[in-house]
């Protein structure tokens, strides 16, 4: 696999790049962004995967998340993929919460989505192989994080792949797609009506079914207008407590769902990941 460089820019003593490649998993071109701090020749750096939310591309976090200074300080590479396949031949939906920009990090099984919407396999298999080949990453030191739909992706991918990620965090994650309108719409459309098949894409269900993380950091704004209907952070708190799984879940007063919220606490998260990735 090879990736073509779209752009590179110096930033905080590192390089912010945007790249594209032909994905055999999605059958489309895929764009992703990578921030690489300056480092000694031959050095391998820990990597933090960032998964973005509904309507986002690779660019939203790159332009709004303000992670670069902290990544440079701690010597961490950050990789941010797109949220769905794109292209003229890729099916779409008129609503913002389904179709392009709303891949939900699942492998679709229903037509017409199954051909291209295979974001689970893309994030879990294809993109890591490309990153390991093309960038100076230490794949034994991986962390994962994300926002909203991307928080859902970070939680479920980490829970399904025990031992792969040394650290897992999330901002305002969709914690239980089985129990919210966004999740019910997406999983019905992509996976079908069999709700038992949804459980592998639901963080709370995965924990209930025995999956565990060594620890977890979640920030959620109390002024988030999606909190009560879509995000339901209390379900994650209950699942972690019932499983006796360590989790720091912080409810932040006055903060909403935006990247203003994410950028306020991203330094905390990167420092938290760095502590675990450098062990």
Using CB atoms within 10 A of its CB, is residue 111 exposed (0-12), middle (13-18) or buried (19+)?
Answer: exposed
CB atoms within 10 A of CB 106: 24
Q: What is the pLDDT of residues 66-91, one digit of tens each?
A: 999 999 999 999 999 999 999 999 99
Q: State the catalytic residue, choosing from 147, 152, 257, 269.
A: 257
Q: What is the mean pLDDT of residues 156-162?
A: 98
**Residue 94 pLDDT level (bands cut at 50, 70, 90):** very high
224 in active site: yes
Q: State the catalytic residue, choosing from 148, 158, 167, 176.
A: 148
Residues in the chain: 279
- Interatomic CA distance for residues 135 and 279, integer angstroms: 21
Q: Is the pTM of this model over 0.95?
A: yes
Q: What is the mean pLDDT of residues 228-248?
A: 98
Answer for the pair 154, 124: CB distance below 8 angstroms, yes or no. Answer: no
SS3 12: coil
Beta strands in 44-123 (DSSP E): 45-51, 77-81
Q: Is the peptide bond before 112 cis (omega within 30 degrees of 0)?
A: yes
Q: What is the mean pLDDT of residues 4-11?
A: 98
Please report the pLDDT score of residue 162 as a whole number: 97
Q: What is the pLDDT of residues 12-21, one digit of tens each?
A: 999 999 999 9
Displacement of CA 228 from its chain's centroid (Å): 22
Mean pLDDT of the chain: 97
Q: State the catalytic residue, choosing from 52, 107, 224, 269.
A: 224
Give the chain's domains with CATH numbers: 4-278 (3.40.50.1820)
CA-wise closest residue to 246 among 254, 236, 257, 256: 236
Starting at the earlier edge strand, list the strands of the sheet with 137-146: 4-11, 14-22, 29-37, 77-81, 45-51, 137-146, 167-171, 217-221, 248-252
24 in active site: no
- The count of C-alpha atoms lying within 13 angstroms of the C-alpha of 233, restricted to the half-sphere facing its C-beta, is 24
CA angle 42–46–52, rounded 5-degree value: 130
- Interatomic CA distance for residues 21 and 122, integer angstroms: 12
Please report the pLDDT score of residue 57 as a whole number: 98
Which helix (H) or strand (E) segment holds residue 133: the answer is: helix 127-134
- Interatomic CA distance for residues 127 and 103, integer angstroms: 15
Which helix (H) or strand (E) segment holds residue 177: the answer is: none
C-alpha torsion angle, residues 5, 8, 12, 13 (rounded to 10)? 80
**What percentage of residues in the chain have a pLDDT greater than 70?**
100
SS3 6: strand
Please report the pLDDT score of residue 279 as a whole number: 72
**Residue 253 pLDDT level (bands cut at 50, 70, 90):** very high
């Amino acid at each position: 696999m090879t990736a073509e460089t779209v752009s590179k820019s110096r930033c905080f003593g590192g390089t912010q790049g945007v790249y594209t490649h032909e994905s055999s998993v999605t059958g489309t071109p895929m764009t992703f962004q990578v921030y690489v701090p300056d480092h000694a020749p031959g050095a391998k750096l820990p990597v933090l995967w960032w998964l973005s939310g509904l309507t986002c591309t690779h660019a939203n976090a790159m332009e709004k998340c303000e992670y670069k200074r902290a990544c440079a300080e701690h010597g961490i590479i950050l990789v941010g993929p797109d949220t769905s396949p794109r292209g003229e031949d890729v099916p779409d939906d008129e609503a913002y919460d389904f179709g392009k920009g709303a891949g939900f990090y699942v492998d679709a099984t229903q037509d017409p989505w199954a051909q291209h919407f295979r974001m689970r396999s893309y994030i879990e298999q294809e993109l890591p192989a490309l990153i390991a080949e093309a960038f100076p990453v230490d794949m034994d030191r991986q962390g994962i994080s994300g926002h909203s739909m991307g928080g859902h992706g970070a939680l479920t991918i980490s829970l399904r792949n025990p031992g792969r990620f040394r650290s897992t965090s999330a901002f305002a994650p969709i914690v239980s797609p089985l129990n919210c309108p966004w999740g019910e719409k997406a999983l019905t459309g992509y996976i079908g009506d069999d709700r038992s098949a949804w459980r592998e894409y639901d963080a709370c269900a995965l924990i209930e079914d025995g999956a565990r993380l060594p620890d977890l950091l979640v920030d959620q704004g109390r002024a988030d207008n999606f909190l009560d209907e879509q995000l339901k952070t209390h379900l994650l708190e209950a699942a972690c407590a019932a499983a006796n799984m360590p989790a720091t879940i912080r409810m932040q007063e006055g903060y909403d769902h935006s990247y203003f919220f994410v950028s306020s606490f991203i330094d905390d998260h990167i420092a938290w990941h760095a502590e675990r990735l450098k062990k």
